[in-house]
Structure 1
């Protein structure tokens, strides 16, 4: 059996245990396919785990211990991997955090706070300090760094998801940062749009009743797995994988998209607001 390219297990907890898994598997003389016999996982999924790019599910960890006769080693340590992969993020966001990295399409509705993937450090820091007022500076910076690091998926040449964000007008016109920083935040969004990394639409204050009047929404679609829906409140979140419910949320999201400003008009509004902030002017509301 041909050995794969070496993995540097010192880079992170996930890569350490991924390297251990591959070493044990290859030492047992098992190919990816042979190792996975009797499980529900494919070899691409396993290969991602061995490279530290996916967490190891508990049932696969138990399968590894049984096949490789490792006396519960991987079951005991798969929680270490989960904690490491969600560093800086809440436990309830763990499943969505993992899924985000493999989604082919991500669609977001943000009524109160800009989506994490679109935030610059100053915006993320303001949100973290407001929602976790007793956090120490190191804890705040860990959360900010983790949030900013996620946005690297927009810079990857080999993989960029189709990302669609519907934003409430107040996120553009009601600043939570000083004017120069708010301009930089809106410039970041406009730049992503201009580079064709994302599409944005804005829901106006005056649009009247609309779908998703309460709650956030993130719908993730995958090339090799069923879609997921994630919604979040202040200190909790819920990931939904029931196909019927996910489809209902998708229909509501499509209706929301239909009542929003066009992508072109939304981008123009974002750029105008950024320029207003740079000039010390409060952006106009589209009343």
Structure 2
């Protein structure tokens, strides 16, 4: 049996955090299985934390502190680990950016802004500048680069199963110049088709639907419970309470039923892209009779 490889605690904050967890666990005479008992997390998840590969979430930090009698040590270090992983993302999104790397499935509902995994650099730049009009150019570009690097997830060796539902207003709202809007929509179609993702559009004629609220994301994992992330203008919230997560997942299933089929949705985006290219884009919602 090869010797155990200990993490380099000096490499970064998560590695220090993981090495300390292993030290405290072994000092207490507990196995990973014993430490995981009573939490919502699996043994592989704890093992990855000890190796410095994943950040310890707050709920697990509370459990570990109680189990090991570490007087809130791991809870106090959660903030340090989160900042170490931030890398250009909004502070409230840092945890989500890390978690999506390990997700088995990602379901996005986007009523106002194209999901980050489907954005172009031009679109991201316009969104960031609109939200942060006083930001320096280097700060804007750092956020653009961080957003673009996330898109590599869909073309990775083992990508999550990605499902996005967009409101039709996203493809009608002229945020960029016509040529750039066409490029954005064509990029969305290509990204969905080449990564075997699924995209649906909630049409303007859908007067009411289950998710008449802000951006929402549901992520599932092979070694941890599912979580929900909801976002508003300058804040975001991670929800892991099982009963609430279940309600969100049920609402997302109902939203799928209210949306157009994936085939009709991509056809609508392609038609809109062509309208932008030909200068025939229609501004504002088209008032059509309800079916």
TM over 0.5: yes
How far the C-alpha of 1:254 sits from its partner, in A, is 1.5
How far the C-alpha of 1:87 sits from its partner, in A, is 2.2
- The answer for the alignment partner of 2:203 in structure 1 is 204
1:22-47 Cα offsets, whole Å, 9 max, x none, are 9979xx99xxx857754556553244
Gaps of 5+ in 1: none
User: In structure 2, how many angstroms separate the alpha carbons of the residues matched to 1:214 and 1:202?
Assistant: 15
1:161 matched to 2:147? The reply is no
Stretch moving more, 123-132 or 266-275: 266-275
- The answer for the alignment partner of 1:233 in structure 2 is 232
User: In structure 2, how many angstroms separate the alpha carbons of the residues matched to 1:166 and 1:35?
Assistant: 39
How far the C-alpha of 1:122 sits from its partner, in A, is 0.9
Q: Are residues 227 and 62 of structure 1, via their aligned partners in 2, closer, same or farther at CA, if it must alter by over 3 Å?
A: closer
Gaps of 5+ in 2: none
Question: Which SS does the other structure have where 2:231 is aligned?
Answer: strand
CA contact 1:109–1:165 (8 Å) conserved in 2: yes
Normalising by structure 1, report the TM-score. 0.80
Normalising by structure 2, report the TM-score. 0.79
User: In structure 1, how many angstroms separate the alpha carbons of the residues matched to 2:207 and 2:57?
Assistant: 44
- The answer for the alignment partner of 1:54 in structure 2 is 54
Stretch moving more, 268-277 or 130-139: 268-277
CA contact 1:160–1:197 (8 Å) conserved in 2: no
User: In structure 2, how many angstroms separate the alpha carbons of the residues matched to 1:99 and 1:268?
Assistant: 32
1:129 matched to 2:120? The reply is no
- The answer for the alignment partner of 1:221 in structure 2 is 220
Q: Are residues 13 and 181 of structure 1, via their aligned partners in 2, closer, same or farther at CA, if it must alter by over 3 Å?
A: farther
- RMSD of Structure 2 on Structure 1 (CA): 3.6
How far the C-alpha of 1:17 sits from its partner, in A, is 6.6
How far the C-alpha of 1:56 sits from its partner, in A, is 3.7
CA contact 2:64–2:74 (8 Å) conserved in 1: no
User: In structure 1, how many angstroms separate the alpha carbons of the residues matched to 2:8 and 2:178?
Assistant: 44
Question: Which SS does the other structure have where 2:102 is aligned?
Answer: coil
Q: Kindly tell me the number of residue pairs found equivalent between the two proteins.
A: 281
Question: Which SS does the other structure have where 2:88 is aligned?
Answer: coil
1:134-191 Cα offsets, whole Å, 9 max, x none, are 111111111111111111111111x211111110111112221112221221122111
CA contact 1:62–1:74 (8 Å) conserved in 2: no
User: In structure 2, how many angstroms separate the alpha carbons of the residues matched to 1:50 and 1:227?
Assistant: 21
- The answer for the alignment partner of 1:142 in structure 2 is 142
1:193 matched to 2:192? The reply is yes
CA contact 2:45–2:223 (8 Å) conserved in 1: no
Question: Which SS does the other structure have where 2:201 is aligned?
Answer: strand
